[in-house]
Every structure is written in structure tokens, then in C-alpha cells.
Amino acid sequence: MASTANLRSRRSAGQLHALAGVEREIRAQDSQSRRKYLREFSQAFRSYDSLLDSQQLQNALRAADVILIGDYHALPGAQRYAASLLEQRALAGGRPVVLGVETIFARDQHILDEWWRREIDEAELRQRIRFDLDWGYDWAPFHELLTAARDHGEGLYGLDCIPRENLRKIGARDRHAAAKVAEIRQRHPNAAIFVLFGESHLAPGHLPRALQKEMPEAKTLTVLQNIDALYWRAAGEPVDKVDAVRVCDDVLCVFNATPLEKYESYRLFLDQWSRCDMGPDFAPTIYNLIDSLAAFLEINRYSPHNGTQPKFLIDMLPEVHGNSSDAVLRRLLSRKGVSEQQVETMLARVEERGCAYLPQVNAFYVREFQMMHAAEDAARFLHHACRGLPLRRNGQGIEGGRECEAALTADNFYRRVVENAVAYFGSRVLYPSRPAFESEKAPALSRAACERAANEACEGDAEKFELIAKDFGFRLGSQIYDFYLAGKVKPAGVRRLFLAHLDEPGLARKVCTAVIARVRAASRATRD
């Protein structure tokens, strides 16, 4: 019999020759492979302890609480193998199964839930999670995986957060995913949790370490797929075909594709992406505005706790719809109780301003990017997110021709004043060239003036209510911005205004009048 070295050489010679050209082409288009995070993965798994048969593999899966499956995104077989493992574990019985995936952002969980409940179809799911824009790999095998989870599991969750393209933030993504898995564990304490995540995240010091910190009592098993170094080493085994190996006690590797198959698949995607010609994608621009304002206010987007920071702001980012999404947006608003007439009114507002933020569904609609209005609406989103997205959380829609939140009450008037104040302030932070707000013959800001404005607004119709609240709020936001420029207001102080809880009766009024009092005190100090 040939030696191990000879077997390895003969089995690998053809592939290695073909791989050389493919890898050169990939490196020319993708330089990320030299990053430290990816090197740590490639260096982590160089050898294995023993071969595994199918029964040993199934025994290891049944003994695990959390199964981390490595995904080579460009290889459809990687997602299909994950679907087969989940289905086999579910059919074996003993405990329910749950699936979490990197492909879908945790911020889009509400969309995934709608598909799970069969309220939306496959096409709408694909569009609204921005699969082709943000992921770009084959849809069919991923949809098969989601369907397997819906058919055989008791839960399906998105685990990822932005930014995907920035490897300097990749550790934060690992910690975020670990926190999400821990939340799944609380919701499904008896389930076997399957997690499909990019293979580089599964180095011992990456996602597995973060999970160990979050869930020290859980037994975690890592199932890698087609790791190059292990594949080439297994090519020297005397058996005809190696299906799986045990790398160590809690790490396995299965072989269902060759390295050449993997890299040819990736090369084809690189070629496809380089030739892609699509219309403008406004989402990165909107998210960048939100991110910039959050950074200015010293808000940690990845904070796992509420308090001086919103919990996981990164998971609250809104859907962003453009011109190509008119039909989807109309259906989305219709399900939330928005009439056709109200939709047309909203679209008219978009026509005038270029965009609109819709807190009822936590979504942006962008027809044309106008910096001033986009910055203002980014601030409106951040204000709602810091309060926990109360409209979406409470299922409030639009009734009687006006938003429920803007019912003609004093409490809602003060809420709208605060929202308009932070919206104006945020727009000036992001777009300093916005003209200063001026209001003709307006009285000086005071508690008494605000109460008179509230009384006048509540006695009018919805349109007058909104105009008065906007006028008073913009004036207040303008003064706050002026004092910020003068060094009298710190970003941390404004952050507290964004985070203020305004939903309990009377609180919005207290917050609003307190801010007015501070503004007046600062004005007197300036004059003195």
C-alpha cells in the first residue's frame, strides 16, 4: 500500500494545480484573507485526533446544547448540509430544535417572524431582508434551510448586526451573536440550538469564546465544513473516503465538498458581483447618518443593557425602502391599518422632502436623497429607538386620519415638541449648513408659552396640532444647538433627552418644561 504522503500527494495533485490559478484570481479581488482575524481561523485547525463514522457524528450532535455550524457562504452545499443536520436532529426526537443564522440581521427579526407566521411570501421576505443587496449569495439553498427550520423547528432567528464589511468590528459582531443565542436559550430552554455562521467566526477565540462567557453551562459543539488543512491531511488516510474527523472534544469537521469546489464557487460570485448593475441603494447612507449621530451622542450601538444607553441599538435599525419597493411598502402599511388615502399623503410628503421615517413600522422610504431632511429623519429614528420603538412595540397604527401617537392631547403635544426638538438638533449636527429656524412673531420660549401653545394645538385639528408642535419643537431644538455651539450644552446632555421616557402620563410635559427652563437659564447667563 502506498504511504500516507504518497496517497496525499496523488489525491491532491490535480486539485492543487487547478487551485493555484483560482486562488491567485481571488486574492487579486479580495485582500481580506491577510487580516489577523482570518489568519487566526486558518491557523486554529491544522490537525485532527481521529476519524468519525456517521453514528459517532450523530451521537455528538445529540449530546450538544448548541451546535455551531461553519458556513462557507459561496457553497450551496454548506447551507444544505446545515438543513440536513437540523432535520435529522428534529426527527430523532428527544428535544425541539431552533435555528439561528448569520445571514439575517437581528434587526429584521420582525420580518422573519412574519414569514414564519406565513403572513408574507418568499419573495417579500427576500426583498425586505435585503438578501441580494446585503448578502448576495445563492438564495435557493438558504431558503431551503429556513423552510426546514419552519417545518421541523420551534423557532428561527437572525443573529447578525452591522457592519459586516469592517473586520475591525468583527469581535463586536461575535459578542452580539453570543448575546442573541443566550436570549434564544432563555426562550427555548429545552431546545437544541443550531447556529449557522461564517466559518472564520468559529475559531476558538472568536464566537465560541464569546458563547462560553454568555452560557458557561451549555455544551457547545462546533461542526466545521471542508477545512482545507484537514481535507489535505485526510487525503492521506488509507480509506477511500473520509466523511468526518474529530478535531478535539468539542470540534468536528465534515467533508462534503473539495477545496477546488469551494474556491471556484467563490470566484464565480466575485465575477458576478463585479458585473452587477443595480439602482441606488439608500440603506448604507441612512445607516451611516444614524451611526454618525449615535457616535456624536456617545451612544454605544452594541450595549447589551438599557439605562444610559439603548439596549442593542444595532438591532433596531429601520428597514429602508426605495422606489423599487413601492408595492412592498404599501402592503406593509396596509397591514398596520394605514388607509390608501393616508399612504398617498405620506408619499406626497416624500415627494416634497425626498424621504420619510415611519415610526409605526420602523421604516424609511427614500425617493431622493436630500441631506437636510434625511438627517432630520435619522434623528427622529434615533429618538424613537432610544425610547424602545414604542409605536412598533405597541402595535400602534394610524387611525382617524392621524397617527395614534399624535392624538390631540397635551401629553402627545409635549412628546411631539421633544421629538421635533431632537430632530432639528440632530439635523443641524449632521448638516450644519441647514438654515437656522425662524418663526414669525413667536413669543419667547417659556413654560407659560408652551402651555398656551399646547392648549391652542389641542383645540384645533390634526394639521394645526402638528404645525404648532413642529414650530415650538424646532425653536427649542434651534436654541439647544446654539448653546451646543457655544459650549454650554454637551452631547451627553442631549443624549439624556433622546433617552427620556416620554410614554408615561405627565412625563413628556415634565421633560419639556425642564429643558425650556435650562434653555432660559443659559440665555440669562449669556446675557449677564
Tell me the per-residue pLDDT of 151-210, one tens digit each, with 9 for 90 and over.
999 999 999 999 988 888 899 999 999 999 999 999 999 999 999 999 999 999 999 999
- Its CATH class, for the domain covering 4-274, is alpha beta
Q: Nearest 5 degrees, angle CA 141-CA 147-CA 148? A: 90
| Bridge partners, 100 (sequence order) | 157, 195
Return the number of other C-beta atoms located less than 10 Å from residue 188's C-beta.
18
Residue 412 in grid coordinates: 402627545
In angstroms, the CA 491 to CA 457 distance is 31
Question: Residue 248's Cα: distance from chain center in Å?
Answer: 33
In angstroms, the CA 219 to CA 212 distance is 9
In angstroms, the CA 268 to CA 510 distance is 60
Return the number of other C-beta atoms located less than 10 Å from residue 518's C-beta.
16
* Three-class secondary structure of residue 396 per DSSP: coil
Report the Cα–Cα distance between both ends of the chain, in Å, rounded.
98
In angstroms, the CA 57 to CA 96 distance is 19
Give yes or no for a contact between 497 and 422, defined as CB atoms under 8 angstroms apart. Answer: yes
| Bridge partners, 270 (sequence order) | none
Give the pLDDT of the chain (528 residues) as one tens digit per residue. Answer: 456 666 566 556 555 655 666 667 666 665 566 678 988 998 999 999 999 999 999 999 999 999 999 999 999 999 999 999 999 999 999 999 999 999 999 999 999 999 999 999 999 999 999 999 899 999 999 999 999 999 999 999 999 999 988 888 899 999 999 999 999 999 999 999 999 999 999 999 999 999 999 999 999 999 999 999 999 999 888 887 899 999 999 999 999 988 888 888 888 887 777 776 566 788 888 898 898 999 999 999 998 887 778 889 999 999 998 766 677 777 877 787 777 777 787 778 888 888 989 888 898 988 888 888 999 999 999 999 998 887 765 555 433 334 444 578 889 999 999 999 999 999 999 988 888 887 766 667 888 888 888 888 888 888 889 899 999 999 999 999 988 888 888 898 899 999 988 888 899 999 999 998 888 887 776 665
CB pairs under 8 A, 24+ apart, for 26-35? 26/263, 26/266, 26/267, 26/270, 29/270, 29/274, 30/270, 32/167, 35/167
* Three-class secondary structure of residue 152 per DSSP: helix
Give yes or no for a contact between 193 and 67, defined as CB atoms under 8 angstroms apart. Answer: yes
DSSP H/E element including 363? strand 363-366
pLDDT of residue 340: 79
The residue ranges of every structural domain in the chain are 4-274, 283-527
DSSP state of 504: S
